[in-house]
Copies of this chain bind each other. A is one copy, B any other.
Amino acid sequence: MSSGTNILAVFGSTGSIGRNTLEVVRRHPDAFGIRYLTGNSNAELLIEQVHEFRPAAVAVTDPAAVTAVKSAVGELTEVFAGEDGLMEIAARSDYDTMVSSLVGFAGLLPTVTAIRAGKNIALANKETLVVAGEIISRLCSEHGVQLLPIDSEHSAILQCIVGEPGHSVSRIVLTASGGPFRGRSHDELSAVTPEQALRHPNWSMGSKITIDSATLMNKGLEVIEAHWLFSVDADAIDVVVHPQSIIHSMVEFSDGSVKAQLGVPDMKIPIHYALTWPDRLAGDYDRLNMAEIGTLTFEEPDTEAFPCLRLAYDALRAGGTAPAILNAANEIAVAAFLDGQLSFTGIADLIEDSLQNVTAGQADTLEAVIAADTAARSFAAAQIEHIAELNTTTRV
C-alpha cells in the first residue's frame, strides 16, 4: 500500500452509504484501502464484501448474521459480534478514517471511540451530532480529529468554505428536495402509507432516512448537524426547498456573496470528497450539464404541513438534550409508522409530545445524552402502545 492510501474502517458497509463507499474504493484502489467492515443483518452481502476486500476483521451486530458470517468467512477474517465488536474495531490503531454510516443512535458510541483513537471521521450518521454534538465537538478538538460530512448538504457547505476566512460565513442555506409529498397539505398527509413515503424522488437511501426525508425531519436533523459542524446558530441556518436536488447547499458570506456546491445526485461524490479532503482526486462520476437540466426551482418549506422541520429548530434552540429527545422520539415514531402503528402525521405529533413531556437537561456527558435518549424512547414507545390500544378499542 502506498503512503498516500487512506485506510478505511467502514461502519455500516452493507447499507446505502457503505455500499457507495466500497464502490468509491473499488474505483480508486491506489487512493483507498479497506481494513475493517461492519454490518448488521445482511450477512450475505457482508460475506461477499469480505471475499472482495479481505478486511482484517469485521463486526456483525445481528446474532443470526454473526453465525452466518462466522461460518462463511471465519477462516478469512476475524469476526466480532455485537456492540462490543463495533467498539473493538473502532479502537484499532491500524486504520486512518472511520466511515461512520451506522443508522441512528447506534452510531454514537463507536464514533466516540474512533475519535478518542484519533481517527478522522467521514460522517454519514447524522444522529451522532444531533444527539451529542457538544461532546463530539469537544472530543474532536481535544484529539485533533477532523469531522468530514458525507451528507451531500454538509459536504456542499464544507466545499463552499474551504479557503474562506472563518469569520466571513454569515449564513448557511440547506437545500431540501421537499420529499415525495411536497405541496400537500397537513390533512392530505394523514393518510399517507409507508409504501408511498418510501418512494423518494431523487436519492436512493435506506428506509429510515427516506421517511425522514418525507417528513422533512431529515432536513431538521441536518440543521442541527450543520450547527455543530460549522458553528453557526439556528437563526443563521435556512432551509430552502429545491426539488431538483442539483444545488446541494449554499453558504452566504458577510459581503453578500453566496457560494453553492452542485452536482448530479450521487452519494459517491460527497463520499469521495470526504475521503480526499482537502485535496481533490479525479473521479469518473457523471458530470453536471446545466443546459440539459434547464430549470432549478426554489421555495420556502411548508412547516404547517411538515412540522418536523420546525420541531428540529425548536430542539436546537432549546439546546441541551432536547435534540437527543427529538431524535429518539423520531426513531421510535418512524419505526412505528413503517410498522403500521402510527399515521404519517402522527410522527410529528409524537415527537412534539415527547419534547413537551420528557425533561431536557445538560448534554455535556455521554451518560446524560444516553439517559435522555432512553427516557424519550420509553415515553414514545408508551405513547405508541397507548395509540395501539385506542385503535383496538375503537375497532371493538
The reply on A191 being an interface residue by CB < 8 A is no
A173-B254 in contact (CB<8A): no
Q: Are B278 and A255 in contact (CB under 8 A)?
A: no
Q: A298-B291, A298-B294 are in contact. Are A257 and B273 (CB under 8 A)?
A: yes
Q: Which of A245-298 contact B (CB under 8 A)?
A: 247, 250, 252-264, 266, 269, 272-273, 276, 278-288, 290-291, 293-298
A91 part of interface (Cβ distance < 8 Å): no
Residues on B with C-beta less than 8 A from A283 are: 254-256
Give bound CA distance, A80 to B72, whole Å: 88
Q: Which of A168, A279, A291 has the most CB of B within 10 A?
A: A291
Chain B nearest CB, measured from A289 CB (Å): 9
A1 interface residue (CB < 8 Å to B): no
Mask of A156-170 contacts with B, CB within 8 angstroms, 1/0: 000110111101101
- How many whole Å from A311's CB to the nearest CB in chain B? 21
Which chain B residues lie closer than 8 Å to A261 at the CB level? Answer: 257-260
A300 at the interface (CB under 8 A from B): yes
A167 to B280 CA separation, bound complex (whole angstroms): 8
Cross-chain contact A162 with B164 (CB below 8 angstroms): yes
Whether A108 is near chain B, meaning CB under 8 Å from some CB there, is no
The answer to whether B252 and A287 have CB atoms under 8 Å apart is yes
Tier of interface size on chain A: 35 or more
A290 to B252, CA, bound (A): 11
* With known contacts A295-B296, A296-B295, A299-B291, A255–B280 Cβ distance under 8 A: yes
Q: Which residues of B contact A247 (CB under 8 A)?
A: 260
List residues of chain B with CB within 8 A of the CB of A79: none
Chain B nearest Cβ from A283, distance in angstroms: 4
Most buried by B among A240, A288, A290, A298: A290
- Chain B residues with CB below 8 A from A162, complex form: 162-164
Instruction: Tell me which of B259, B276, B290, B291 contacts A159 (CB under 8 A).
Output: B259
Q: Hey, which chain B residues are within 8 Å of A160, CB to CB?
A: 259
Instruction: Indicate if the CB atoms of B164 and A164 lie closer than 8 Å.
Output: no
| A281-B254 in contact (CB<8A) | yes
Residues of chain B with a CB closer than 8 A to A281's CB: 254-255
Residues of A within 8 A of B (CB): 159-160, 162-165, 167-168, 170, 173, 240-242, 247, 250, 252-264, 266, 269, 272-273, 276, 278-288, 290-291, 293-300
- Given contacts A240-B290, A255-B273, A257-B262, list 9 more A-B pairs with CB under 8 A: A165-B278, A168-B280, A170-B282, A252-B287, A255-B280, A255-B281, A256-B287, A258-B263, A295-B295
24 cross-chain CB contacts under 8 A: A165-B279, A165-B280, A167-B280, A168-B280, A170-B282, A240-B291, A252-B287, A254-B281, A254-B282, A255-B269, A255-B280, A255-B281, A255-B283, A256-B263, A256-B264, A256-B284, A256-B285, A257-B261, A257-B273, A259-B262, A260-B261, A295-B295, A296-B296, A296-B297
The 7 closest A-B pairs by CB, nearest first: A163-B163, A162-B163, A168-B280, A256-B285, A254-B282, A290-B298, A255-B283
